[in-house]
Amino acid sequence: MFHTIEAAISDLKKGKTIIVVDDENRENEGDFVALSEKATPEVINFMITHGRGLVCTAINEDLAEKVGLSLMMNQSTDPLGTAFTTTVDHVDTTTGISAGERSKTIQALVKPGVRNSDFKQPGHVFPLIAKSGGVLTRPGHTEASVDLAVLSGASPSGTICEIINEDGTMARVPDLQEIAKRFDLKIVTIEALIAYRKVHEKHIKREVETILPTEFGEFKMVGYSNDLDDKEHIALVKGDIDEEAPVLTRIHSECLTGDVFGSHRCDCGPQLHEALKKIEAAGSGVLVYMRQEGRGIGLLNKLRAYQLQDDGLDTVEANEQLGFAPDLREYDFSAQILKDLGVENVRLLTNNPEKMDALEAYGINVVSRIPIQIDSRQENDKYMKTKFSKMGHILTFHNE
């Protein structure tokens, strides 16, 4: 059993240690995590006694620059890209290795007015630089500890220690849950932290509005940027939006081949056009156009998937052959765009129940689903049936 992020934050604020678990397909490990400003000698001693791993202090890029910490290696070969800096001890420490002296160094790192001259190098505290954007950019313990510190209202730094079993093997989830129970610690996942941030934070920005006359009608086009990647998304808005009434809505993911070139390998282009027709006929509604080509794998990889489909694989098998999940699309930005437009309740134009569940998870109330099935043709018949049989899309085939 895992605890909520809210419960973990509450304990961190009290100076308690928690356990954070990453994805089983990544390190599949758990770390003790504490706020650096509350990393007392007792906390450090607990980590080195019961964690047995390397005690590190995660900091953000600004603090690393302020203290003058440079990367330990300019060309790291670590496959996970952990950003170790040169090690430090506080200038007033002796050996620097005791729990008390490591605590002194760590707490000094996050004090206001900290300076490079407060430390000597090398030392026994291992600072790690978290990526900007936190777990939304890199789902590691480094970023998770800094994110949790920020969410706790503390200095943006967490102290972490990998948890190793008594026999020297890495502690996995069953072991970690037993440790959490033994010491009455909260245990959370990085996956849950990512979801928490996506629900509670806003990362899109409305940049520009203009009028777009189309063959389907006239729409207001609203352009959005975001602070996590360089993708720009748009919304086509028809009429006035009633914040109380359910709004006819389509979330459409970019498909260059279908939307622009009229490809018959998919139903994307016809779905886009049909959605705009329905919104125009209704007199009001929103189409959010998301830049996540090829169900999130990108244009070139989509073309590689097409090549594999030419050899007989279906769309799911092709994605998996390339090392991707069948569908990597995300809808947190979609939900944020809808909320920015004043849309809280939707009548969603979709055949995909996962899209409905995703919007609900991000705080958009899906009042009803409006089917938007396009008749299949010879070129995309296998594609449509794969969406039905393997991806759970709600489709009807009249010829069977």
- Provide the annotated active-site residues: 327, 329
Coil, strand or helix at 11:
helix
Angle between helices 190-200 and 141-151 (to 10 degrees): 40
User: Alpha-carbon Rg of the chain, whole angstroms?
Assistant: 25
Task: Tokens for 23, please give them.
Answer: 């994805």
What φ, ψ does residue 383 adopt, rounded to 5°? -60, -45
Coil, strand or helix at 243:
coil
Distance in angstroms between the alpha carbons of the first and the last residue of the chain: 44
* Beta pairing class for 217-226 and 204-214: antiparallel
Coil, strand or helix at 308:
helix
Q: How far apart are CA 191 and CA 200, in angstroms?
A: 14
Could you identify the residue written with the tokens 């994805």?
Answer: 23
Q: What burial letters (b/e) apply to 38-58, b meaning 16+ CB within 10 Å?
A: bbbeebbebbbebbebebbbb
Report in angstroms the alpha-carbon separations of 375 from 271, 274, 281, 396: 10, 12, 21, 9
Q: Residue 373 is inside which H or E element, if any?
A: none
Coil, strand or helix at 363:
coil
Peptide bond into 41 cis (omega under 30): no
What φ, ψ does residue 53 adopt, rounded to 5°? -90, -165
